[in-house]
Structure 1
């Protein structure tokens, strides 16, 4: 199963085109630090990288623990230490772009969109902050366009990085100038199986 993500600055209906910015309470997550104890010596931390295990408001139907840990390591610093809150899921809320937008009302944090398509591919986008995999190229400002008929991430040259229709049923992914990304799905056109959106608050 491939896992690819792009990111942009999120502009959603009702926000006046403003970027969503963090204004949340601080809380810590604990990380596991392995230590080895030698006879008559001090304790030394293991040199293995730390494991990031964010606290999720509920279990994800799409992401496995190791995938969550890998994503957490690549999220922007301002999301670290904040619980992941599931604000939208097709399994719970149905397939509706309007409901997806409503679920974001009053939320002022970055948003992680996770899509599973009918081919079993897992991909998505992180909104409102540059991401380490497909960074903003600076070629254009086509981060996110959202209306009642579709949701699109990235663009340029007539191609869209990630596009979803108003029913959240059909999608399309293509390389785009905004992120210089690869096609996220197995095929350019795909059918959505499930979606989850996580906020960091």
Structure 2
């Protein structure tokens, strides 16, 4: 609302308030309750309009203050941003120069580290191969011992079996000789 309209509204509110007060007084003097009530109602409306106008004026002033502060904040922000960008650019240039200066040293250190890692990897690989060979020899020896033991067990079983067969054959031979001496007839096959 413009300043001119606000002044018009204030004048109209004042006039309405004065008219309401006059009606209230005339109604009270003449005993006309409806005129008194109408006057009081007009005064209340005028007071509410005045409060609304005051509230609106305060709100307009606050909005203007906020716009002014926002503009100032934008200007300050732009100035700070420009300063920060300039500082960041200077720091970036310094960092770039330092990076270029350090690149040679870093590259040399990286090559040394890589060579050391390569030597360590070769050493570890040789150690692992040696450990694997040792483990293979141990496992081969254990397997050979198991094989030798199994062969010994087999030969012992074969010798025991041959001995048992020989004992059985001798016992059979002896039984036949005893049967012949005793005159016991031998069983004939097929009978």
TM-score with structure 1 setting the length: 0.14
Question: Of Structure 1 and Structure 2, which has the larger fraction of its residues in helix?
Answer: 2
- The structure having more radius of gyration, on CA atoms, is 2
